[in-house]
Amino acid sequence: DAGVIQSPRHEVTEMGQEVTLRCKPISGHDYLFWYRQTMMRGLELLIYFNNNVPIDDSGMPEDRFSAKMPNASFSTLKIQPSEPRDSAVYFCASRPGPVGYNEQFFGPGTRLTVL
């Protein structure tokens, strides 16, 4: 298995532009998570899905952020419009089942820089 795949690996954009981050989870995993990592705030959970359904989006910082999971093999995180404070590394992770017995598998991350 190729693991969790994220694209792009690096994204540099200007303030006000739309940014779309993509994730392909491991096949057969029921859960998908989006995290954001910064030096100041550490690793923050933004949103997670179970069987393609969003379960908790309370970590999404504001309405500029949206996430979708149209099918079991693909998810997107969109920021529109982007701001410099959105600069961070965004990680997607997937998990095969309930948290009590399963680890989470992380993708390599997308490093976003908003100028």
Partner 1 sequence: SQQGEEDPQALSIQEGENATMNCSYKTSINNLQWYRQNSGRGLVHLILIRSNEREKHSGRLRVTLDTSKKSSSLLITASRAADTASYFCATDAGNSGNTPLVFGKGTRLSVIA
Residue in 3, 37, 41 with CA at minimum distance from that of residue 23: 3
Phi, psi of 86 (to 5 degrees): -85, -5
Q: How far apart are CA 57 and CA 34, in angstroms?
A: 10
33 forms part of the interface with partner 1 (CB under 8 A): yes
Report the residue from 26, 65, 109, 112 that binds partner 1 according to the rule CB under 8 A.
Answer: 109
Interface segment toward partner 1; rule CB under 8 A; list 11-19, 38-46, 60-68, 79-87: 38-46
Q: How far apart are CA 111 and CA 13, in angstroms?
A: 11
In whole angstroms, how close is the CB of 101 to partner 1 at the nearest point? 8
Q: Is the dihedral of CA 49, 82, 61, 113 positive or negative?
A: positive
Q: How far apart are CA 30 and CA 40, in angstroms?
A: 31
CB 89 within 8 A of CB 112: yes
13 forms part of the interface with partner 1 (CB under 8 A): no
In the complex with partner 1, the residue whose CB is nearer, 57 or 81, is: 57
Report the residue from 27, 55, 61, 85 that binds partner 1 according to the rule CB under 8 A.
Answer: 55
Report the residue from 8, 16, 28, 97 that binds partner 1 according to the rule CB under 8 A.
Answer: 97
Contacting residues toward partner 1, per CB under 8 A = 4, 31, 33, 35, 42-43, 45, 48, 50, 55-56, 91, 93, 97-101, 103-109
